[in-house]
Amino acid sequence: MSLFKARDWWSTILGEKEEFDQGCLCVADVDNSGQDKIIVGSYMGYLRIFNPHPVKPGDGGQPEDLLLEVQLREPILQVEVGKFVSGTEGLHLAVLHCRKLCVYAVSETLGNVEHGNQYQIKLMYEHNLQRAACNMTYGPFGGVKGRDLICIQSMDGMLMLFEQESYAFGRFLPGFLLPGPLTYSSRTDSFITVSSCRQVESYKYQVLAFATDADERQETEQAKLSSGKRLVVDWVLNLGEQALDICVVSFNQAVSSVFVLGERNFFCLKDNGQIRFMKKLDYSPSCFIPYCSVKEGTINTLIGTHSKMLNVYQDVTLKWATQLPHVPVAVKVANLQNLKGVIVTLSDTGHLQCSYLGTDPSLFQAPRVESRELNQEEFDAEMKELQKIIKEATKTQEPDSSETVVVSVFLKRNFSPSELEGNCVLSYGTPTGILKAAQCNFSLPLRLICFPAQPSKAANHKITIDTNKPPISFLTIFPDFVDPSEDDQANVLGFQFLTGSKATLLASKTSQRYRIQSDQLEDLWLITKELRLRLEEHFKKQNCKDFACTFSGSIPLQEYFELIDRHFELRLNEEKLQELLSQRAAQFRAIERRLLTRFKDKTPAPLQHLDTLLEGTFREVIALADAAGENQANLFQAFTKLKSATHLVIMLISLWQKLSTDQVAILEATFLPLAEDTKEMGWEETVDAAISYLLRTCLSKSSKEQALSLSSQLCMPKDTSRLKKNITLFCDRLAKGGRLSLSTDSATQQAAVCNCPYLEDFVQCHFFLKLFFFLTAETPFSVAANF
């Protein structure tokens, strides 16, 4: 930030909610009176001409400062003043619209009353443009004397040249993509622009004049070759960045130079495109203008920044920096009221200011404080009162208070989730400024993913859970799913998931058993889990500490293997589709290169059906991309179903073998190591490696198995036969008395455990890979966190 601010000489605000840009400001003697005027055009179509004459510096705009204000029908892109009318060397105003170029004469009419003189504009001529305009430049093109010609750059890269009242010709710039800043150098009779390739390009006017006419692009190739020469660039300089503005200056004491303002650098070029000097900027510039320097052989430059600064450079040396009240988008230097070197700036919101550079620092001076004698007793009493207030305020705002955060949960896809648990993390700051975090786990209600339905008598999959307590009525443990008036729901209950599938829960009347049945294996998981949790909660309220659930049936491995095969099949399909898509994409690019070569050839050859082949390949690429997207969605659904079935298998094994909490954690880390499939690591190979490690350590039958080494690299298997064999063997070893443990009595097993390439990471990662919910119904719920 500069110590000195720009001294406000005159300023005003233009209109309300109007927008302005780089080409909307011009300073010139537009009425041919011998004094500079300020011409401003806006995107709202307003044209204003000012002649500031404040009584004292810093005065705001007065009504008499505004000479002319008129609203045109179209947005104003740029305003320029030059010798644009034939038969006279007087200055006229050129206004560029999106589809029109208008040239006006500004004249003053002497007033007969005290209101003073009046200004008016008269349309001299206009040109309707066939293409949308971007910007324009003017000058004595071709070395003409006593008049200025206009060149307009369109949005599609065409240079349209006008010889005052008549249209001359149009030329397309080669390799055009996006329009850039444009200027004219009278010294070399060249147009200079910055292309979208981030390079400065110069085109001779004579080359433009004799090149192929842009209006003849629709003719045959032979006619195009005979209509003129090819447009060739005079010189090119690679900037490496986009340019904000470009300007050509030539003063008496300095040679002609081309100035280019980039996004991070400021360049000064010679007439032939060689760099005279450049300056790296440590700020983001917004506009610039070179002007005459008092030192011979140098040029001064004003550069406005987005940090509201105006920097003055003499070549590459920073001579002055001053603060502005706004971010300038355009800056000019004017001679107003016999005051030379007035800096005129315009913001994008219409803040127009005329300022000068001064050395009066705007420093804050604290007012004088009246001295008084200090009463120590009053001071101590006030201090104690303030400390008491601070203590009470801190006490009432501690982390011990409770806050309730309400969130909404939605069903993301058209299938049931694998878990209903969630984890909430909150970060907050204490009144003393200390940042803290609080975390809580919560479970979503089962009612969010299913609702009561008619029980089904038959089902494809059934499991039976044994307990050591008499069956509890469903009216007691499932009050949110039963109707108290329906007595038949005491021992049987039906559930229908939002996805359409159903599940049935039955309680035996003669034994201590519960049966869960469904047509889909994965749908048994959440109902079974919810039954176990509600039974444990019920007996906990009854102060019953010996309640236990067991499972004595057979683990549904064959049904589980079917889900594994379905998931693995989709993974194979994904690889095939990715390979086919890569091949078709390479084929498409090769055909595209051949076509471009044919089109660029001066003597074009037949396409030989390359266009038909390109279209066919494009359709194949789109079809393969759609198929890959559909397969990915199916793969995610299959993985979710596989996780639900895996949770069920883990629960059944733990109830079957009466595993401890630590053993269940090992089992979960073995079968659920991943939150989702990735290209680098899939579920099948990861689980197979974990189970293989357990079979060779804590579940091994001999020292020969312990000596077998495991591969340190995971790769996608060819099929699932090995995985299914290891899972079957894993269950068989548990049935024969094997126990899951990370520390065994065998020293060899301990060493193997310590050198495990997989399981240790699985156990650590398990607690971090607890899946966050992605689900369910459009019903809000509350989570209370103490922090």
Q: What amino acid occupies position 316? A: V
pLDDT category at 778 given cuts 50, 70, 90 is very low
CB atoms under 10 Å from CB of 557, counted, come to: 14
In this prediction, residue 359 carries a pLDDT of: 67
Give the C-alpha separation, 105 to 126, whole Å. 12
Residue 691: inside a domain, yes or no? yes
How large a percentage of the chain has pLDDT more than 70?
85
**pLDDT per residue over 293-327, tens digit each?**
777 778 899 999 999 999 999 989 999 999 999 99
Higher pLDDT, 576 or 54: 576
Asked, for residue 537, whether it belongs to a domain, the answer is no
The overall average pLDDT reported for the chain is 84
AA letter at 647: H
Greater model confidence, 780 or 501: 501
**What is the rounded distance in angstroms from the CA atom of residue 641 to the CA atom of residue 630?**
17
Residue type, 664: V
Domain finish residue from 108, 128, 148: 128
DSSP readout, 579-624? Answer: HHHHHHHHHHHHHHHHHHHHHH-SS----TTHHHHHHHHHHHHHHH
Indicate the pLDDT class of residue 214, thresholds 50, 70 and 90. Answer: low
Among 104, 128, 152, residue at a domain's last position: 128
pLDDT at 577 over 70: yes
CA neighbor of 153 nearest in space, from 185, 108, 195: 195
649 band by pLDDT with thresholds 50, 70 and 90: very high
pLDDT (0 to 100) of residue 772: 31
Q: Helix or strand or coil: residue 245?
A: strand
d(CA 162, CA 167): 4
330 in Cβ contact with 324 (< 8 Å): no
549, part of any domain: no
Q: Is residue 644 part of a domain?
A: yes
pLDDT tens digits, 532-568: 999 999 999 999 889 999 999 999 999 999 999 999 9
Per-residue pLDDT of 692-725, as tens digits, reads: 989 988 888 876 666 566 666 788 889 999 999 9
Q: Is the pLDDT of residue 5 over 80?
A: no
The predicted pLDDT at position 349 comes to 92
pLDDT, mean of residues 177-205: 93
Last residue of a domain, one of 128, 163, 194: 128
Q: What is the arithmetic mean of pLDDT over 20-40?
A: 93
Confidence (pLDDT) at 84: 94
Task: Report pLDDT for 111.
Answer: 65
Instruction: Report residue 705 as tokens.
Output: 């198995």
The sign one gets for the Cα dihedral 589, 593, 599, 604 is: negative
| 552 Ramachandran zone, left/alpha/beta (phi>0; psi -120 to 50) | alpha
Which has more pLDDT, 684 or 701?
684
pLDDT bin (cut points 50, 70, 90) of residue 428 is confident
* Total tally of structural domains belonging to the chain: 2
Query: Distances from the Cα of 88 to the Cαs of 55, 91, 95, 146, 167, in angstroms?
Result: 36, 9, 19, 8, 19
Enclosing domain of residue 581: 566-706+716-736
> What is the SS3 assignment for 655?
helix
**How far apart (Å, rounded) are the C-alpha atoms in residues 415 and 419?**
12
Spatial separation of the C-alpha atoms in residues 595 and 307, rounded to whole Å: 49
